[in-house]
Structure 1
Amino acid sequence: MSWGSLRLRLIVGGLLAILIALTIAGAGLTLLFERHVARTIGDDLDVYLKQLVAGIDADAQGKLVVGRPPADPRFADPLSGLYWQVSDDAGQVLRSRSLWDTALDLPRDEPSPRELHRHIIPGPANARLLVSERRVLLTLGDRRAPVRVAVAADLARVSAAASHFARDLALALGVLGLVLVAATSIQVGLGLRPLDALRRGVADVRSGQCKHLPVDVPAEVRPLVEEVNSLIDAQEREIERSRSRAADLAHGLKTPLAALATDVALLRQRGELEVAQAIEAVGETMSRHVDRELARARARGTARLRGGISTSLRPLVQSLILTLARTPAAQRLDFEIRMTGEPSVPLDRADLAEVLGNLMENAARYARSRVRIAADAAKPAISVEDDGPGIAPAERARVLQRGVRLDERGEGAGLGLSIVQDVLSAYGWQLVLAESELGGLKAMVAPEEGRDRMTAAGPAT
């Protein structure tokens, strides 16, 4: 797929959206998890703080003692990441064994006796500590003294937990991303399916299988379908008008040509043979052009409406052979029909008769003793061969040029190879000349490359 592909653009856009969404979701979930872990640690510190406050007392000399420290063994493990500290206004400081030879550098703060404050301060080994502290009033000797009680935990636990969570989350989001990519691809395919149906509909219209695009499409595509169908109708009307004008012009020339033929006969009776022959040659040329335009007009109209058209080949060939057999040139020939199965051709019967009739008449004119018509039901091709002198390879391209007849001297069928090509071109078919294994010329009628029209198109006519 190139960048001009709508499918590729939608998929790439979806991938970018998924990547951005998953990145934001991953960062947000990691942040939420980190805050959750921090809140959990803060709640644990509050529990330790209550245990520590409950265990503070004064001895006989009025000095602070901690009779029952928090039970967590980490408070006794040096630099374990969990610490407590108790101090009074006289400078006495008690701390957990985990602090070793350091102390918590608490900020200047004066919380009320029942107020809980939290801080983030630097701790041992440059650690970041989350501190929960309270201020309580105790009787020390003969006085009431404020005592500052603090419990701290290393926030490295939060970072480590968040890091592990982020790795697990990345794996989960990666799997989710793959699922979303697959879902996006399916969604794009489903979304573009109406366009694919529209493409097939256009191909069916072009091939003549139907006259209009199907209207059973989503609402977003329906205006386009309606416009295309309107364009097809307008083009159809224009073609019909052109066809009618060509037919009217051709039929309008028939009467003058008939009158001209009558004048030629009168001139021959008077003995003016040279003048009669000259006028007769001009009349025949004009007649050939008229017949050609009539055939072209009919072929254009029929090809546009050929949906469901299919002609059985064998009966048509047999009928043409019976007609040709009455001509003097064909009475001496052996016509061979070599067909596998019962081939049918998606051309109108009259148009196919003109094509094959012209080719078979040319073959009969030059054949010595044999003409073969071959086709295969499984292959979209028809061949007409003879055992005559054939045509040199250099001349084959010339005789297929418009306005050049295969036999300039003979009377011919009045259509020539150019009209054969015009009729075939209207159906997406072509005429190819080659050398026959019989020794003469092989004329092959087949679909143009990449436009195979030899398909079943309805009941044979």
Structure 2
Amino acid sequence: MTPPPSGRGPRPAGLTKPAAPDKPSPPAKPAGLLQLGSLQRRLLLAALAFVTLALVVAGLAIGVILHRFVRAQLDSRLDSQLVAIAASLERGPGEHLRLDRTLDGPPFDRPRSGWYWQVRQGRTTLRADSLEGRDLPVPDRPAHDPDPDRAQPGDAAGPWGDALILRTRVLPAEAGRPPVILVASAPAQALNGPLREAGRALAAILGILGLCLVAGTVAQVRLGLRPLERLRRDIAEVRAGRRPRIPGQQPAEIRPLVTEVNALLDQNAANLERARTHVANLAHGLKTPLATLTLALSDRTRDPDGGLAALVAAMDRQVRHHLRRARTAALGGATRARTDLAGPLSDLRTTFGRLYAEKTLVIDLDLPEGLAAACDPQDIDEMLGNLIDNACQWSRGWVRIAGRPAEAGVTLTVEDDGPGLDAAAAARAIRPGGRLDESVPGHGFGLSITTELAELYGGGLQLGRSDLGGLSARLQLPA
């Protein structure tokens, strides 16, 4: 325990303003899907792009295959009609062509249906009844077809302007007669209609498939990134002091990173232990010579005016101050220690209640269960001991200690009903060696050391006016 700090001197209670809090930093933007550089965002966008591309390519390919299939079925039907017509042709009176049977079966029997057939040889023309006496446009074709058994495809407008799909076959000329041109047609709707229906069904199926793939990708990405979230929680556990190292049971891709982090933790722990050992050795090496000098200078014959004793006392204060600062700096800021505050505060209340038993102090302790700070236990004792000692020293009979969880950590408040301090005196009290009353025992380093320790942990100390009438010391520490 440090010498009782003398952060204040007796003075009339007056208006006291608490130290101005630091300007709050802007809140960090939450990580999420739209955050730039997010692994989840990258993976999901890449998967969405590939799924979309794959579905578009698959849709186009299936569409082309369906078109070819339906067109082949339609051409096969028209070719069958041409074969039936060719087989039914015969010479009638006057050597004119005629059919030995009717070929106007469904669907070629419906007028203006687009299902037509026509036979032409010179000026002789045979037609389906569905043409109602009109002619089909006959595509240009050479008189001598190298493959008369093969029908040729074509497209044309029908007699009533409707779009038709044609199949044309030319029978070679015989005995000086012109070639016979056979034409069969089907409406373009016979091709486009089934394709539209199949396209709608295909689009629905591909859409459902795409949604399933996207949902599967989201699940896969979240499942794949879950070890990273578990690693983050493990590191938070280490930082909070609830475990010394990160568990080694990790996926193969993360295991090297965990090994390196654990090695860094071990190295930092070793460096901290060495630093504390050096500080302890230095403290031991300087404490004995200073004690010897103090004892020697207590003889007034050696130091009549007390000047040397004052210098030795100043040296002792400086050594104590810098040793504490070196020890806390060795922690590198917030440590991985986790200290439950209930135990230390109860012990400190008991200790100072006995030290100041003659004042019959009432020391109230209001602390929620489980409140903890991410600080070394020795530093907790040092900081709270300085504050409680200061409050007990100047209190008229009532000291109140309270702790509450805060947004950025833990806030501990030590209040008393003493004379209190104004803003200027509070600023002087937290400076190293700042003593407001030289008649009170102490060295003036208690509040300054408490402030430095708190700042090394990322917290701070603020002095203000308590509603009890005295001083209110607010200590902020990381949770």
TM-score of the two chains, using structure 1 as the length reference: 0.81
- Counterpart of 1:286 in structure 2 is 318
Counterpart CA distance in 2 for 1:386 and 1:113 is 115
From 119, 127, 131, give the equivalent of 2:163: 127
Percent of aligned positions that are identical:
34
CA-to-aligned-CA distance 1:391-438 (integer Å, 9 cap, x gap): 22354455445x354646343377512322344455555433332121
Which residue in the other structure is 2:95 paired with? 62
Matches within 5 A, 1:304-343: 304-306=335-337, 312-313=343-344, 315-325=346-356, 331-339=358-366, 342=369
Aligned-partner Cα distance in 1 for 2:351–2:332? 24
Q: Is 1:355 matched with 2:391? A: no
Which residue of 212, 222, 231 maps to 1:179? 212
Q: CA 1:404–1:251 in structure 2 vs 1: closer, same or farther (change >3 Å)?
A: same
Match of 2:51 in 1: 18
Aligned residues: 438
Look up the match of 1:458. Answer: none
CA–CA distance in structure 1, aligned partners of residues 306 and 341 of structure 2:
48
Q: CA deviation at 1:303?
A: 6.4
Within 2, Cα distance between the matches of 1:302 and 1:322?
32
Structure 2 gaps of 5+ residues are: 1-33
Deviation, 1:296, is 2.6
Give the whole-Å Cα distance in 2 for the aligned partners of 1:10 and 1:377. Answer: 38
**Is 1:272 matched up with 2:299?**
no
Are the counterparts in 2 of residues 260 and 283 from structure 1 also a CA contact under 8 Å? no
Q: How far has the Cα of 1:443 moved from its partner?
A: 1.8
Tell me whether 1:418 sits opposite 2:418 in the alignment. Answer: no
CA distances 1:152-177 after superposition (whole Å, capped 9, x unpaired)? 22334323332343344334433333
Residue 234 of structure 1, CA deviation: 2.9
Give the conservation status (yes or no) of the 8 Å contact 2:48–2:214.
yes
Match of 2:199 among 160, 163, 166: 166
The residue number in structure 2 matching 1:442 is 472
Contact 1:383/1:442, CA 8 A, preserved across alignment:
yes
Closer/same/farther in 2, CA of residues 313 and 4 from structure 1, 3 Å limit: same
Q: Is 1:247–1:294's contact at 8 Å kept on the other side of the alignment? A: no
Confirm whether residue 345 of structure 1 aligns to residue 372 of structure 2: yes
Moved more, 257-266 or 210-219: 210-219
Distance 1:435 1:344 in 2: 25
Moved more, 432-441 or 347-356: 347-356
Higher RCO, Cα 8 Å, sep 6+: 2
Find out whether 1:239 has 2:272 as its counterpart. Answer: yes
1:40 to partner: Cα distance = 1.4
Contact 1:75/1:83 (<8 A) preserved: yes
Q: Kindly provide the CA deviation profile for residues 167-211 of structure 1, in whole angstroms up to 9, marking residues without a partner as x.
A: 443344333333333333222222222222222233233222333
For residue 150 of structure 2, the aligned residue among 116, 119, 123 is 116
Taking the aligned partners of 1:389 and 1:149, their CA distance within structure 2 comes to 120
The one-letter code matched in structure 1 to 2:263 is S
Q: CA–CA distance in 2 between the matches of 1:271 and 1:260?
A: 11
Instruction: Report what 2:227 is aligned to.
Output: 194
Q: What runs of 5+ residues in structure 1 fail to find an aligned partner?
A: 454-461
1:393 lines up with 2:393 in the alignment: no
CA RMSD of aligned residues (A): 3.5
Whole-Å separation in 2 of the counterparts to 1:367 and 1:61: 140
Query: Which of the numbers 240, 251, 254 marks the counterpart of 1:221?
Result: 254
CA contact (8 A) 2:82 2:182 kept: yes
Distance (whole Å) between structure 1 residues aligned to residue 102 and residue 433 of structure 2: 117
1:74/1:82 contact within 8 Å kept: yes
Conservation of the 8 A alpha-carbon contact between 1:208 and 1:303: no
Q: Partners of 2:350 and 2:323 in 1: how far apart?
A: 22
Contact 2:466/2:472 (<8 A) preserved: yes
The answer to whether 1:230 aligns with 2:258 is no
What letter matches 1:3 in structure 2?
L
When normalised by structure 2's length, the TM-score is 0.78
SS of alignment partner, residue 420 of structure 2: coil
SS state of the match for residue 312, structure 1?
Answer: helix
Amino acid at match of 1:285: R
Counterpart of 2:23 in structure 1 is none
How far does the alpha carbon of each residue in 1:272-308 deviate from its partner, in whole angstroms, 9 at most, with x for none?
A: 133344334323323432552475368x399635258
Higher relative helix content:
1
